[in-house]
Structure 1
Amino acid sequence: MSVKARIEARLAEELEPERLIVINESSQHAGHQPSMTGDGETHMRVRIVSKKFEGLSRLERHRTVNALLKEEFDAGLHALAVEAAAPGEATRW
């Protein structure tokens, strides 16, 4: 299973999102470090809308997502951009 698929599955299971998009942005970071060729799954963007974010600050939302994906970071995920919203909040996507 790909990193993207594992991220989607974990977030879907834990946060029951209304909307979830996971984007592999690794190719945009080729050369960022000598070992980063842009071929893998090292840089991801998560766009998620979930009721579980209601009443949470932006920082708390990011911490929630990062904690759920700790295993992916431990396995080599280098960077994660998080765009998290509660239902009814405006998003740019």
Structure 2
Amino acid sequence: MSSTVEIENKLKRIFDPERLVLMDESARHAGHIEASGSPALSHLRVRIVSAHFEGLNRLERHRAVNEALSQEITEGLHALAIEAAAPGERTRW
């Protein structure tokens, strides 16, 4: 399973973001999934601002991030919250 640092580096390579924040929320969900064999990183929130998202709707942005992290999802990333924006768009954060 990838670490947040590895995931951050991957997202930087793929999306060249002007802003990127990863929040490991796994501890807040302890016991949510079976403990046996559960990855240390199970719940992740991604906040990303990238020109890559210009002209894409919310679903297309989420699909792009999901595709970029498909290996991590296959390896057990259980929940991925994505907040993606294009430069200049308002964000809640």
TM-score for the superposition, normalised by structure 1: 0.91
Give structure 1 stretches of 5+ with no counterpart: none
- Sequence identity of aligned pairs in percent? 57
1:1-93 correspondence to structure 2 within 5 Å: 2-35=2-35, 40-93=40-93
2:13 partner letter: E
Give structure 2 stretches of 5+ with no counterpart: none
Q: Structure 1: how far apart are the matches of 2:75 and 2:34?
A: 18
TM-score for the superposition, normalised by structure 2: 0.91
How far did residue 34 of structure 1 move?
Answer: 2.9
Report SS of the residue matched to 2:62. helix
Report SS of the residue matched to 1:92. coil
| Runs of 4+ residues over 6 Å off in structure 1 | none
How far did residue 2 of structure 1 move?
Answer: 4.9
Count of residues paired in the alignment: 92
2:54 partner letter: E
Given that 1:3 and 1:72 are in contact with CA atoms closer than 8 Å, whether structure 2 keeps it comes out as: no
| Higher relative contact order structure (alpha carbons within 8 Å, sequence separation ≥ 6) | 2
2:35 partner letter: S
- Cα RMSD (Å): 1.9
Q: Structure 1: how far apart are the matches of 2:32 and 2:71?
A: 22
